[in-house]
Structure formats: structure tokens, C-alpha cells
Structure 1
């Protein structure tokens, strides 16, 4: 299994009366997510087995939708635990997927950094549209190995090959 954690793209500022969950991507944020998704496309061996799970907050849902369109994934799965940073619930959901699955999770900070620190021992900075890929260590379901980490600019460069 591959678990790809991705932070949503740059979001609109919280200007009252807008609620935090309504904040969507800025136009430059959308463009960066498109470029990052194109970079992800080049790094995935087989996007047909990719599942995309996302928070329902507007900025994450927009990010997940863009990635899904670029990668040709037809369905998104909304997981409430992603909005609240509940790693145990995410791990329970991951335990139900096939061993050869790829799961891309679109979420939020500070949860993504905390999760990578807990799972792989590395607290990584997840700037907007940054992604990291983890794989479980053999025989230890609670420990994961960091396979790669790329900020949006690097992903964007990979998509321009």
C-alpha cells in the first residue's frame, strides 16, 4: 500500500462572514494544485488503483477534485476524520483497503505534519499542495516508511517533463 498525504492548495483568507470551512482555493492556489497533480501523475505507476480521500472543507475538496480530474479518478471519498485530524480513524479506514492500493489523502495542517511524525518519525512541513508518500513497514502496522516528499514547486517541475 502507498499512502500519499497531500495538503490542500492555497486558500482564500478568512474574511467574515465567511466560515473557515467555506474557504476555497485562490486562483494561484488552483494553478499550483494543477501543476502538482501533473507531477503526481508522472510518479504514479498505475493511477487506476488510486483512491482519493478528502476532507469536506471547500479548499480540500477543490484540491481533491482537481487532482482527481488530472489523474482520471472518478470518485472521491469524504472522510470526516480528516477535518479533525483523527489519525486512529484514518488508520482504521486504511486497514480496509487492498494491499496493493494507493490512497491519496487530501487534508490540513497541522495534522499532516503530526501524522508523518507519528507514523514515520519525520515532522515534515506541508506547505500548500505539498505531498509525501508513505508505505507501511513489514510486520509493524503502526510504523511507516517515508518513500518521498515534494513541495508543490518540485511536483510542478516533475509535471513539465
Structure 2
């Protein structure tokens, strides 16, 4: 059986969790997040922790168990600390800057790419080749980072493009004479 699912999710001081019907709401210093609950798992909000248990011993219930527990943990971490992804831009003339509610990217195309910053997401550009994406919803932060990266993925010969910080780009050797 799952080991991660057996551990209850601890709720730190300053965070409140409430279970109403098929919705779990978590409120903390950074904001409020809600999650729809799965039928295959039971939830219990107690003093200082939230426990997640499978409804029965079926394969479907057990497969939902660990994932649902992790999603509850992500809600708690999101409202207390938040999530951040960092993108690095590599290439001559490639740069990014925030202008109001838009991220302006210059990626070697004949036009600039204007990316509208979604609600609940904060984007900062400390320099022209670094983009910090932050927010309280882990899924939304990752989705925004993936959409920005999709405009110019890193290529294997020179490594030009947008990559995640710490990502390794497998480099290929160029053509030989």
C-alpha cells in the first residue's frame, strides 16, 4: 500500500481548512484555494491536520489515495509559501521584460511576443534573460511557465531558447567537414 497516503497533511498555524460537501477550502496568509474532492477517497479535517483515506480496497480507490493527499499538501504549501518557477532565456538578442499586465518577449521572430499575465500569477524580470513566475496555485504556475517556454524551446546545437532554471539541455555535435 501507499506510504505517502498514510501520513496526514499537517495544517500550520495561521491556516484554516474547511470541508463543505464536495469542496475543500484552505485559507492562509497568501490567499484561499479550493479543490473538488474525489468520490474514491474520504477526507477528515481535524485539529492540526487533514487525513485522506481510500473508500474501499479497490485498485481505483488506492490509486486516487496518494494523488489526492499530494493535492491537499499542495494547497497547504501554496497558501503558506507559494510556488515559483524560474525561466532562463539564452540567445543573442533574446530578452524579456514586464510591461503592465503583459510579458514582452523578443525571441528572434519578426515580431515581439506579448504574453498576457493571468490573474493570480506574478511575473518578475530581474534582468533581461531571467523570468520569475510565482503564485499560490502550483498547477497554474507550471502551466504559465510551460506556455512561455513553448514560444521558443531550447535547441540542442547552440542551446538557444527558453529553459527552466537547472534544466539540462542535451547538446549535439554540429556537422563535420
- Common fold: TM-score over 0.5: no
TM-score w.r.t. the length of structure 2 is: 0.23
Structure with bigger strand share is 2
Which one scores higher on RCO, CA 8 angstroms, separation ≥ 6?
Answer: 1
> What is the TM-score of this pair, normalised by structure 1?
0.25
- Higher Rg of the two aligned structures: 2
More helix by share: 1
